[in-house]
Amino acid sequence: MKLTQLFFLFVLSGSCLAQNLQQEINEQVWKPFISSFNNRDAAGFLAVHSKQVVRSPLDSKIILTWDEYLKKQEEGNKISLDKGNTRSVYLRFTNRIAKDGTAIDIGIFKVIVNQPDGATRSVYGRFHVVMRKEQNIWKILVDMDSSEGNSIDETDFIAASPME
């Protein structure tokens, strides 16, 4: 009987630890990621990434370093601002694994772009992110995403789990 209780306590404590790590990641990575992306804050956006980040928008078949990623973000933000567009990114998750100082999050993103003429378009993709703790703060180390041939859509987005 005591062995069974001990087993359930162990399983529950492991589950709680994983949830705590995910909450920590949400606060240190995903919430500032979303806010800085939506506000076109390239410096804030890159601040949640490791200086050793490997960024690959797979549809483009390129790999970017931290400096290259920052430059692309600044360029994209300027283009969006010049056009008068606003944008909002939303994330949902299909897999979240965290242990010790390493984590992997996989999910679906949705970016809604609002144009000055009132037109709206949505862009979807699947992201794969590897994070690690650096000086006790979670940072994105590997950041990849793809539209998978424009096959990702609202159905995939809704099927994934919201950030808790």
Q: What is the CATH number of the domain that holds 88?
A: 3.10.450.50
For the entire predicted model, the pTM comes to: 0.86
The count of structural domains within the chain is 1
Indicate if the pLDDT at residue 19 is higher than 90: no
91-139 pLDDT per residue, tens: 999 999 999 999 999 999 999 999 999 999 999 999 999 999 999 999 9
Confidence of residue 14 (pLDDT cuts 50, 70, 90): very low
Q: List phi, psi (to 5°) of 106.
A: -125, 140
Q: Which tokens go with 125?
A: 């993709």
Of the candidates 104, 113, 111, 93, the one whose C-alpha atom is nearest the C-alpha of residue 143 is 104
- Does an H or E element contain 104, and which? strand 102-114
Residue 15 scores a pLDDT above 80: no
Q: Residue 85 belongs to what domain range?
A: 2-162
Cα gap 41→117, rounded to integer Å: 24
CA distance 160 to 157: 6
How far, CA to CA in Å, does 26 sit from each of 33, 60, 76, 157? 9, 27, 25, 18
